[in-house]
Amino acid sequence: MTNEDVAQELEDIADLLEIADANVFRVRSFRRAVDSIAELPEDVAVLLAESRLTDVPGIGKSIARIVEELVNTGTSEEKEALLAQYPESLLEMLRISGFGPRKAAVVFRELGISTVDELEEAAAAGRLQDLPGMGAKTEDNIINSIDAYREGQQRALLGEMLPVAEDLVARLREHPDVIRAEFAGSTRRHRETVGDLDLLASSADPAGVCKWFAGLEILEELTMAGDTKVSGRLAGGRQVDLRVVAEASFGAALQYFTGSQQHNIRLRERAQRMALTVNEYGVFKADKEEKGDMVAGTAEEDVYAALDLPWIPPELREDRGEITAAEADELPELIELSDIRCDLHMHSQYSDGRATVEELARACMELGYAYIGIADHSQTLTVANGMDADRVRAQHEEIAKLNEKLKQEGTKFRVLQGIEADILSDGSVDVPEGTFELFDYVIGALHQGFSPDADKITARMVAAVKSGMIDIVAHPTGRVLLARQPYGLHIDQLIAACAEHDVALEINASPQRLDLDDTHARFAVQQGCRLSINTDAHGPESLTHMRYGVMQARRGWVEADNVINTWSLRKLRSWFKKRRS
């Protein structure tokens, strides 16, 4: 058993205990053990063999005994006893966002519901709303979350798959018989979620490369092992396809397997009109005399050039007008990560962040930014340790001191003070009394008091935009990918208000959010809105999520000028000032 397996078993026990309404301290001690084991650098089996397991913080004698049982027998009496009372399928229900052990216990006890299907049926039939602690709104939430859960089983976040794709491509490139390697499909188009991973390599010995790839440990299961194609599954079930082609076809194959399918259909139609054929091997002449003559194939650029088009960035290949734009030489000059000069939304220890202001600043200097803005939560968001006026003032002083220190060090890097202020249910903005003047800027955000009424939510946000109090609207639709649907909102009305009052809309770069999404970002820019791409980092390690925000912006045809994070500090400051006067 790996540490992960052990942690999973303990987590199951904790969940089942909670469903069984066991002592809260007992449940908590299991959860603490789950965290410790998940973070252990050493193998539990080794610690066990050397009798060092109880040295691990969070693991007492009784849990150590269960771990020993797990490692030796693959199961534990504790779990078996619980499973004699509660069906195992209850554990799957807990993977539905917002549906925890307490709710599971209630639906099981009152209605005998033990599977996701049964839960969905009961919610749709309105049979849950009279249960203790639930209502009509809970039913809607459960139905939405089940949809997202089902989708999550089909697709993975780009933030999860892109690093895997990059790792596999790097390994392919190291193979002596691989000439070129890239990832293709939705991953290359930087779609926010990915179905399966498509890899491509060129080689003079495809069979040899395939054989080597099929033997990689990362493939937990092989579904196909041919001489030019390998398919397998990663831990968690996600599919990976590798195709190995001849070097002369690499560009054509890359174009073909990058898709999207709709984009490729449009290209093929165009080719037909030009008496050409495009497939994964190349571009060929289609008229009678020269039929089969290869026109292009080695480089992707050549494939587009053969069709009399400039190369089209993969993010645009969604059949959303990119071929017409390319034809007219009107493709956008897409924003790039290197255009970003600052990150304006991150959390320090002043609210719910893990790092100090200075640690965040130093980490951003490393990333090559010119300046940053800290935007901690405001006081009404107590669950996130929101700042009251005193803490705002303390932070203000700390930032001033830090800026002085940076100046002494001879760097031009500066830290701005912003705040992520809650937009309250009446549309007012939660900036602590008497502190508005201290902030360089204010980000407005919705975190609580969601109403199922789209008109109400829209009115609330539009009121905040009109108030002149906020400069940026954070994660405008509130969605969490594969987990939570956006709150009902008339996004077009919000966009119109932001355009009118010159308030920027955020593209939240967290791979779980990517909110605004691509099509909304594009629409917002068309309506004359400015955008702001920010990580919303709660620790230095997530500051690099900026790239996912930029990828989403590129899918939305966004250029550098549309994004306030590409501006110099001077330009941004004067924009903030102008907005306030």
Q: Which residues bind ligand DGT (CB under 6 A)?
A: 185-186, 191, 194-196, 198, 256-257, 259-261, 264
Q: Which is nearer to ligand DGT, 240 or 402 (CB)?
A: 240
Residue least distant from Ca ion (Cβ): 185
Number of alpha helices (DSSP H) and beta strands (DSSP E) in the chain: 23, 17
Name every residue whose Cβ is closer than 8 Å to that of residue 176 and which is 6 or more positions away in sequence: none
Q: Which is nearer to ligand DGT, 200 or 497 (CB)?
A: 200
Pairwise CA distance, residues 78 & 16, whole Å: 10
Does residue 314 belong to the site contacting Ca ion (CB under 5 A)? no
Backbone angles phi, psi at 530, to 5 degrees: -90, 155
Pairwise CA distance, residues 505 & 518, whole Å: 13
Give the one entry of ligand DGT, Ca ion, none that residue 149 binds, where binding means its C-beta sits below a cut-off of 5 to 8 angstroms depending on kind.
none
Q: Which is nearer to ligand DGT, 284 or 371 (CB)?
A: 284
Residue whose C-alpha is closest to residue 250's, from 296, 283, 284, 297: 297
Minimum distance from residue 478 beta carbon to ligand DGT (Å): 24
Q: Which stretch binds Ca ion (CB under 5 A): 144-152, 233-241, 270-278, 352-360?
A: 233-241
Q: Which is nearer to ligand DGT, 72 or 154 (CB)?
A: 154
Does residue 101 belong to the site contacting Ca ion (CB under 5 A)? no
**∠ CA 535-540-545, rounded to 5°:** 35
Is residue 476 within 8 Å of residue 470, measured between CB atoms? no
Residue whose C-alpha is closest to residue 511's, from 187, 145, 157: 157
**∠ CA 498-489-476, rounded to 5°:** 50
Does residue 318 belong to the site contacting Ca ion (CB under 5 A)? no
Minimum distance from residue 103 beta carbon to ligand DGT (Å): 32
Give the one entry of Ca ion, ligand DGT, none that residue 261 binds, where binding means its C-beta sits below a cut-off of 5 to 8 angstroms depending on kind.
ligand DGT
Minimum distance from residue 190 beta carbon to ligand DGT (Å): 11
Does residue 430 belong to the site contacting Ca ion (CB under 5 A)? no
Q: Which stretch binds Ca ion (CB under 5 A): 69-77, 171-179, 190-198, 314-322?
A: 190-198
Residue whose C-alpha is closest to residue 201's, from 214, 210, 189, 192: 210
Question: How many CB atoms lie under 10 A from the CB of residue 225?
Answer: 15
- 192-231 footprint of Ca ion as x/- string (CB under 5 A): ----x-x---------------------------------
Q: Which is nearer to Ca ion, 185 or 418 (CB)?
A: 185
Q: Which is nearer to Ca ion, 104 or 254 (CB)?
A: 254
Pairwise CA distance, residues 168 & 555, whole Å: 24
Give the distance, in angstroms, between the CA of residue 529 and the centroid of all CA atoms in the same chain: 23
**∠ CA 172-176-182, rounded to 5°:** 25
Which DSSP letter does residue 485 get?
P
Contacting residue, 152, 185, 444, 478, with Ca ion by CB under 5 A: 185
Pairing of strands 342-343, 371-377: parallel
Q: Which stretch binds Ca ion (CB under 5 A): 18-26, 131-139, 240-248, 360-368?
A: 240-248
Give the one entry of ligand DGT, Ca ion, none that residue 581 binds, where binding means its C-beta sits below a cut-off of 5 to 8 angstroms depending on kind.
none
Does residue 398 belong to the site contacting Ca ion (CB under 5 A)? no
Q: Which is nearer to ligand DGT, 319 or 358 (CB)?
A: 319
Size of the site for Ca ion (CB under 5 A): 4
Residue 511's region, left for phi above 0, alpha for psi from -120 to 50, else beta, is alpha
Minimum distance from residue 186 beta carbon to Ca ion (Å): 5
Contacting residue, 192, 241, 471, 515, with Ca ion by CB under 5 A: 241
Backbone angles phi, psi at 177, to 5 degrees: -95, 5
**∠ CA 330-331-334, rounded to 5°:** 140
Minimum distance from residue 257 beta carbon to Ca ion (Å): 8
CA atoms within 13 A on the CB side of 309: 21
Residue with tokens 């779609």: 191
Q: Which is nearer to Ca ion, 139 or 198 (CB)?
A: 198
Q: How far is CA 36 from CA 45, 95, 122, in A?
A: 14, 21, 37
Residue least distant from ligand DGT (Cβ): 259
Does residue 297 belong to the site contacting Ca ion (CB under 5 A)? no
Give the one entry of ligand DGT, Ca ion, none that residue 264 binds, where binding means its C-beta sits below a cut-off of 5 to 8 angstroms depending on kind.
ligand DGT
Q: Which is nearer to ligand DGT, 314 or 444 (CB)?
A: 314
Does residue 182 belong to the site contacting Ca ion (CB under 5 A)? no
Q: Which of residues 243-272 bind Ca ion (CB under 5 A)?
A: none
Q: Which is nearer to ligand DGT, 155 or 414 (CB)?
A: 155
Give the one entry of ligand DGT, Ca ion, none that residue 260 binds, where binding means its C-beta sits below a cut-off of 5 to 8 angstroms depending on kind.
ligand DGT
Question: How many CB atoms lie under 10 A from the CB of residue 559?
Answer: 15
CA atoms within 13 A on the CB side of 570: 1
Q: How far is CA 236 from CA 90, 243, 282, 387, 480, in A?
A: 19, 22, 35, 40, 20
Minimum distance from residue 158 beta carbon to ligand DGT (Å): 9
Q: Which is nearer to Ca ion, 196 or 422 (CB)?
A: 196
Q: Which stretch binds Ca ion (CB under 5 A): 166-174, 181-189, 496-504, 562-570?
A: 181-189
Strand partners, 181: 201
Does residue 282 belong to the site contacting Ca ion (CB under 5 A)? no
Which tokens go with 306?
């053969």
Minimum distance from residue 190 beta carbon to Ca ion (Å): 12
Which tokens go with 547?
């790239």
Q: Which is nearer to ligand DGT, 266 or 501 (CB)?
A: 266
User: What is the binding site for Ca ion (CB under 5 A)?
Assistant: 185, 196, 198, 241
